[in-house]
Structure 1
Amino acid sequence: MAHALDFFFDDAADAAVRALWRRLDTAGVPSVASRTHGRHRPHVTLAVAGTIPAAARRSLRGELELLSIPDLWLHTLGTVPGEERMLLLGAVVDTELLAVHSAVHDALAGRVRNPSAYYFPGAWIPHCALAQGVSADQLAAGFRALQPVEPVRASISEIGITDTRTGEVEVLTSR
């Protein structure tokens, strides 16, 4: 995939996630930050597609200006099924967050190429990635290193389209 629609966090939440990444690295579990050589900012992804063209970005900008974006509570240390092991900090899902997610997908519907079904309403697991592509032993070590995890309250400071190949972000709106 090439483009992702991401919620980026306020300074305090960004720092809290980066502290978790450092704890993982210290425990010998390669964090997302170490795997991306620091290019990766803490975030929650709402949609992923092969291409999110300019017309879709304009539509998104207009929709995002009308929405009330709730703070996120990143509370659950977990993983997801799949071949690539991942350690994540899951967001508490409430009706406000689901409404924003649905509105975003309504704005993107029919306007993007090759959308990822993993991010569609009903399939989406809102989370901030802490480590990806780790071994079973590293996953277990990551859980040990981060327990107990303190909940992170994340206000959304920016919403942008990330080029997943380069890490470059086009900011759609700042809060």
Structure 2
Amino acid sequence: MVQSAELLLDSGLDSAVRREWATLSDADLPSQNRHRGESNRPHITVAVASSMPEDVNDGAAVRFDPFDVRLGGLVVFGGRTITLARLVVPTCELLDLHARMLEAVGEHSLDHLGLGRWTPHVTLARRLTPEEAGNAVRLLSGTTEDLVGSALTLRRWDGEAKREWRIG
């Protein structure tokens, strides 16, 4: 089950992403808006692992200080189904945090988040068909300008226990 560390966004960025989720839902397209769980919120995943070391869980392994974040254009990830997301423009602070998280997680880290393989993003919709992905991109592309704000909190998500907590 998924064990992750994620950046949560300030209220302005969170609201802006939620408006995009709502735009997709209002058009009857898949959207993160459909997931009503309390822990479902816009975020940037910085580490995913099969298990997390205790010093990551309690915040001892990685110091976190809030930093500025810019969400750029749309990106489409392929696979069995399609994911639509907003790219996160990499900054020194973001890349440094990612590298420190990978070091702290060690061999438990999942390969697709490794150095040189990670694409920082905020998910807008999952499990889209090709037709839905095209419609979603057309719908959002006319209003997609960069969104600027801050990453305020580093949280741990335990997908097995379905619980979250702040770290760092």
Structure-2-length-normalised TM-score:
0.89
Pair 1:118-2:112 in alignment:
yes
1:81-92 maps to which residues of 2 (within 5 A)? 81-92=78-89
Give the drift of 1:159.
0.6
The alpha carbon displacement at 1:138 in A equals: 0.8
Whether 1:164 aligns to 2:159 is yes
Q: What runs of 5+ residues in structure 2 fail to find an aligned partner?
A: none
Give the Å deviation of 1:26: 0.8
Alignment match, 2:74: 77
Q: Which of 92, 97, 101 is the matching residue for 2:94? A: 97
Counterpart amino acid of residue 43 in structure 1: H
Is 2:116 the counterpart of 1:144?
Answer: no
Q: Shift in Å at residue 80 of structure 1? A: 1.8
Structure 2 counterpart of 1:127, one-letter code: H
Note if contact 1:28-1:138 (Cα within 8 Å) is conserved in structure 2: no
Deviation of 1:52 (Å): 1.2
Q: CA RMSD in A?
A: 1.9
Deviates more, 1:93-102 or 1:119-128: 93-102
Checking the alignment, whether the CA contact within 8 Å between 1:69 and 1:100 is kept in structure 2 is no
Instruction: Quote how far apart the aligned CAs of 1:94 are.
Output: 3.1
Give distance in 1, aligned partners of 2:102 and 2:147. 26
Distance 1:119 1:33 in 2: 25
Report what 2:103 is aligned to: 106
Tell me which residue corresponds to 1:25: 25
Contact 2:66–2:152 at 8 Å: present in 1 too?
no
How many positions carry a matched residue from both structures?
166
Amino acid at match of 1:31: S
SS at match of 2:81: coil
Q: How much has 1:63 moved relative to structure 2?
A: 4.4
Aligned to 2:49: 49
Structure 1 letter corresponding to 2:114: F
Structure 1 residues 9 and 133 mapped into 2: Cα distance closer, same or farther (>3 Å)? same
Report the CA distance between 1:122 and its aligned residue: 0.8
Percent identity (aligned): 25
Q: Bigger CA drift: 143-152 or 23-32?
A: 143-152
Q: Is the CA contact (8 Å cut-off) linking 1:27 and 1:141 kept in structure 2?
A: no
- TM-score of the aligned structures, taking structure 1 as reference length: 0.85
Residue-by-residue CA offset, 1:57-98 (whole Å, 9 max, x unaligned):
24xx23433x55531111121112322201000001233321
> In 1, distance between residues paired with 2:105 and 2:110?
12
Which ranges in structure 1 are unaligned for 5 or more consecutive residues?
none
What CA distance in whole angstroms lies between the structure 1 residues aligned with 2:116 and 2:145?
27
